[in-house]
Amino acid sequence: MHESVFTQLSLIIALAAVVSLIMRLIKQPLIIGHILTGVIVGPSVLHLMNEPDTIEAFSSIGIALLLFIIGLGLNPKVIKEIGKVAALGGILEVLITSIFGWSVGIVLGMTKTEALFFGVALSFSSTIIILKLLTDRKEQSRLFGKIVTGFLLIEDILAAFALLFVTSLGAGQGFSPSEFAILSAKGALICIPLLFIGYKVLPKLHNLIAGSQEFLFLFAIGWGFGSAALFELIGFSLEIGALVAGVALSNLAYTQEISSRLRPLRDFFVVVFFISLGSRLNFANAETMIPVILIGTVIVLLLQPLIILTIMGLLGYTKRTSFKAAIAMTQLSEFSLVFIILGNTNNLVTDELVAAITVIALITIAVSTYLITYSDKLFTVFEEALSMFESRKTHFEQESRHHYDLVLFGYQRGGHEFVRVFKSLKKRFVVIDYDPGVIDTLEQRQIDFLYGDATDIELLEEAGLDKAKLIVSTISDHETNMFLVRLLEKINPKAVIIVHGDTFSEAAELYTAGASYVVIPHYIGSEKIGTFIRKSGLKKSEFRKYRERHLAYLESHFSPVSLDE
């Protein structure tokens, strides 16, 4: 009797938690633990996965969410910045690795068809493994991270054509240029409307979409999954569809909020993906292919990085950027497994070659996880030797992440006054707000902003709160202000933090937690008007003049909508 899908998934996740705990205790990357869990629950050991199709569907959700969130961070400026190196590097890396792998396959006694499958399978890197590790390390927005994302996009496009080619071979139809042309046209027909809607239509509807957090979440899910499904239906991978869906929304003001809301969902389903990947690994007959496994592993771990290092060096990138991009590409893709299994299904490759590619995938995924995790330390070891890959004119990475000296939470409740002060100080500042109407005002006034919740840790990391010198919160919610004060005491105790308090007891609590100053509006307002009365007496004419000056000030700093509210 088979257990229900819920029972199976619950058992698998429980086992994953145990394995992950062990990985944490021995200080190993969790991805290794997730894949190991998949091997344990798969047919090789416990055989707990009786509903593989359902688990596969869950893992596809994780893939779509991960690529969608990555796409949200790729705006047209980024694509323009990395377009040349991504296209040239991605195509050349696949081409050179495939040719070299094919040549090695021929030398090892494979047929021409098997050697072709061997070479092509070795040429693709894992989109999911790489992007998961980069996001965990918060390096997806670094220059090398953006370049690697470009490489992967090119590889995914080439992978779609490779699968089409294999399918036509299996059907005995041979190569058909018309099918490739049709697939390309279909991709363009979907891409163009998605990008047009994302960049021209949706910005005009941002109040409608972002006005409700529940609807914003649902809209993002529907947009991302719907786009991924469309691309998969026409013959491309869902990875491409999800990435394009994210790029289409990357210009919107609320992309950060979408990302933060989707990340917990992404993390769960990506774990299921790695477990599913581990369960598909089959090592039967692998012992007969040891020479193939060893040489294939060397090609993936050494040849591919050398190709990328050379290309990026010739294009003028620094040795650090080139090295970290090259290190990221040192593993076999999940597509390689699909590709080689499809070849086996069509009787184009042997079971032994499928087993060899599976083992190469496991070895390279494990090794690359460590290489990416410790890439900074590895760079210091090989820095001098890497100088041969760096040209004299280099593209230095101008900014590894956002850094603001001044951070303001909330604009509506007196925040405009702080903005005036910040501008006079001539230091870089950012406003963080949760109101789409305020975001629209900030955008019109060309003020740097981040849209999202002040308690979102990843949003605060994006703002660089640990490096800020002054943080001001005009937010009236006491719990939020306490959270900010306590957090800053841990990550940036030298910063000055000014927060809002409604009562004297709230102010006392905030001061005790570490606030530099607590603004109590009614106290300050009463003190100010009291000073005016003592100075001007009870003459109504003086109050009229004061009123006119105050009204002029309000009109110069607030929009009509703000005044109505």
The CA distance from 81 to 364, in Å, is: 30
Of the candidate ranges 56-60, 339-343, 438-442, the one whose mean pLDDT is the lowest: 438-442
Fold that domain 56-173+259-389 belongs to in CATH = Na+/H+ antiporter like fold (1.20.1530)
Whether this prediction's pTM lies above 0.75 is answered by no
pLDDT tens-digit readout, 216-229: 889 989 998 998 89
pLDDT tens-digit readout, 264-274: 888 888 788 88
The CA distance from 36 to 41, in Å, is: 9
Q: What angle do CA 427, 429, 435 make, to 5 degrees?
A: 160
Of the candidate ranges 230-239, 276-285, 336-345, 523-532, the one whose mean pLDDT is the lowest: 523-532
Instruction: Select the more confidently predicted residue: 63 or 308.
Output: 308
Q: How many other C-beta atoms are found inside a 10 Å radius of the C-beta of residue 457? A: 12
What confidence score (pLDDT) does residue 238 get? 80
Domain ranges of the chain: 1-48, 56-173+259-389, 406-519
DSSP 465-527: TTT-SEEEE----HHHHHHHHHHHHHH-TTSEEEEE-SSHHHHHHHHHHT-SEEE-HHHHHHH
Q: How would you list the strands of the sheet with 406-409, edge to edge?
A: 449-451, 429-433, 406-409, 470-473, 496-500, 517-519
Phi-psi region of 390 (alpha: psi -120 to 50; beta: other; left: phi over 0): beta
What confidence score (pLDDT) does residue 305 get? 92
Fold that domain 406-519 belongs to in CATH = Rossmann fold (3.40.50)
Can you tell me whether residue 431 is helix, strand or coil?
strand
In single-letter form, the type of residue at position 361 comes to A
Of the candidate ranges 294-308, 422-436, 441-455, the one whose mean pLDDT is the lowest: 441-455
Q: Is the pLDDT of residue 235 over 80?
A: no
In single-letter form, the type of residue at position 324 comes to K
Residue 303's H or E segment, with its range, is none
CB 340 within 8 A of CB 353: yes
- Considering 202-206, 389-393, 522-526, the range whose residues carry the highest mean pLDDT is 202-206
Residues in the chain: 565
Assigned token pair, 11: 């058992």
Instruction: Select the more confidently predicted residue: 176 or 91.
Output: 91
Mean pLDDT to the nearest integer, 518-531? 67
Per-residue HEC secondary structure of 436-461 comes to: HHHHHHHHHCCCCEEECCCCCHHHHH
What confidence score (pLDDT) does residue 543 get? 67
Mean pLDDT to the nearest integer, 425-441? 80
pLDDT tens-digit readout, 339-393: 887 787 778 888 888 888 888 888 898 898 889 888 878 888 888 888 887 765 5
Of the candidate ranges 114-118, 138-142, 502-506, the one whose mean pLDDT is the lowest: 138-142
What confidence score (pLDDT) does residue 95 get? 93
What confidence score (pLDDT) does residue 396 get? 45
What confidence score (pLDDT) does residue 90 get? 87
pLDDT tens-digit readout, 415-424: 777 888 888 8
Q: Is the pLDDT of residue 399 over 50?
A: no
Instruction: Select the more confidently predicted residue: 180 or 486.
Output: 486
